Structure 1
């Protein structure tokens, strides 16, 4: 297996608690997250996120089991296991205070891929993944701003 990393960075004046309020609202992900329009979110009976919280993202054939593995004031991370193709990985968003009321938000996704698959990912596909990560951050911040 080989780790494949995708990252995106943005700066904002939106405070971390507002950003994480959007990110922690798993049931609303399809309303703002790019390419999630046809995804259903199965939440447990207790919808309040916390460390080890589990939920499922479902498409028509593909699903991903998600678990919150990091839950702090300045970071969130979820591990995932996708059924088709069988992949695992981690999505992480962390926020770092900067000067003058600004924050830097980093999104780093790590996907565990078989080495043969890594070789197939060409520069075009890698650029697409990076663009999608940046679009995610843009949508997250826009939603946090609108909800604020």
Structure 2
């Protein structure tokens, strides 16, 4: 069973600010509740082919995985896929202007767990949805306080 979680939020900051901050993996530990650390495998900044290693906690487990940037449209869309890790995952950020100076950001995580992870996919999806909502709320708090 596939996991596909899409969450969105409106942040009262311009697209350039929201995309610039959230699209920089170095900032992830500041707004993702479950991400403990980020290490660039390739040289920053983010660009097509960039690779970034993450260490996270999810459902009581430590996860280490590496994302590769597979699509980038500045201030519009960023797509990263795991190059290694517990199961194949793709994360997509989208940003679009809303009104005067606000941004609608969506965050989509999808993957195809296998083995035991496939059995727990429904629980995993529900947990991801809750965590992603919290992450986006935290991101909004960080950015709107600037």
Q: For this structure pair, what is the TM-score category when the shorter chain's length is used for normalisation?
A: 0.7 to 0.9
Q: Does residue 40 of structure 2 align to residue 43 of structure 1?
A: yes
- Distance 1:130-1:80 versus aligned 2 partners, 3 A rule: same
- The size of the alignment, in residue pairs, is 141
| Aligned position for 1:143 | 142
Shift in Å, 1:109: 0.6
| Aligned position for 1:68 | 69
The 3-state SS of whatever aligns with 1:113 is coil
Q: Is the 8 A contact 2:7 2:133 kept in 1?
A: yes
Structure 2: gaps of 5 or more residues: none
The alignment yields a C-alpha RMSD, in angstroms, of 2.6
TM-score (ref. length: structure 2): 0.79
TM-score (ref. length: structure 1): 0.78
The 3-state SS of whatever aligns with 1:109 is strand
Distance in 2 (CA, whole Å) between partners of 1:135 and 1:41 is: 19
Question: Alpha-carbon deviations, 1:89-146, whole Å to 9, x = none?
Answer: 1111112233454432211111122276444334x55332211111111122222223
Q: Is the 8 A contact 1:88 1:112 kept in 2?
A: yes
The 3-state SS of whatever aligns with 2:30 is helix
The 3-state SS of whatever aligns with 1:55 is strand
